[in-house]
Structure 1
Amino acid sequence: MEVRLEHKTMAMCHPEDLWEVFRNIEDWHDWTSTFGQSGWVHGTPWQPGSRFFIEIIQPRRLDLEVVVLRCSAPHEVVLLCHGEGLAGELWIHFMGEDWDRSNLSIEAAIVGTSRLPVPELKAVISHIFHDWFEGLSCVAVKHCTSIAL
């Protein structure tokens, strides 16, 4: 089974503001209901080969180990995630659109076996991406505003 997905949104801030919020994986659960605990388990954070774990708590419980394949902060991160018979490569981009807004995008290629039918799996992953990026966008805008004040 192979699933390909893409999600895009916009934030009224700079890519650097998105990166400042995104890079602190231990805080992700503070701004999205999708994630539980997370933490680095190997290597220097955000360097190729470094690893972290993350709990997905909704819409379905799942524990993942994530390997950083590439990081060109603050614009691009490529991750390899695996858990419960699935592996996925994620390409995450924070691209400045204008002086006051950025596009956030994630592209995913997921392979493996799943107990869920493909349409349901796509819906679950789409929900995770939406919740993750909308939360990130909101917190990054607040971060940008607090720096400007």
Structure 2
Amino acid sequence: MRGKIAIVSVLCVLLATSVALAAETKQAKASWTGTIQVTGKHSEAELAKMAKVSMADAEKTALAAIEAKDADKKVTNRELEVEHGYLIYSFDIKVTGKKGIEEVNVDAGDGKVLAREHETSKGEAKEKREEKAK
């Protein structure tokens, strides 16, 4: 009987820990709020019409957010996308002499930097696989 109670107790603790970690991970991913909320599926052309900031202006903002000489920064990928329900520009920026890439998200409504994250090559490859799976 005590063994069963111990097993049930351990399972309850594991379940509670899993739920707490899942909630924390979800909250960390959505730590910013954009200005253009998007629901449902939209074509690239429809998303472009919703944007108030041009791709070129958003790219300048993203590059300015990276601390390096201008000559050492190169945008390797750019896209207008919906993330966490908001319309954003996402830029992958390679910095000469630094491993991985800097990902900078710029709000498509007001042009402000929403998030910046350093990604390793493995992390970038994983993200691309996840995007293809969607």
Name the TM-score, length of structure 2 as normaliser.
0.29
The structure whose Rg is larger is 2
Write 1 or 2 for the structure with the bigger share of helix: 2
Q: Which has the higher contact order (CA 8 A, sep 6+)?
A: 1
Write 1 or 2 for the structure with the bigger share of strand: 1
Name the TM-score, length of structure 1 as normaliser.
0.27
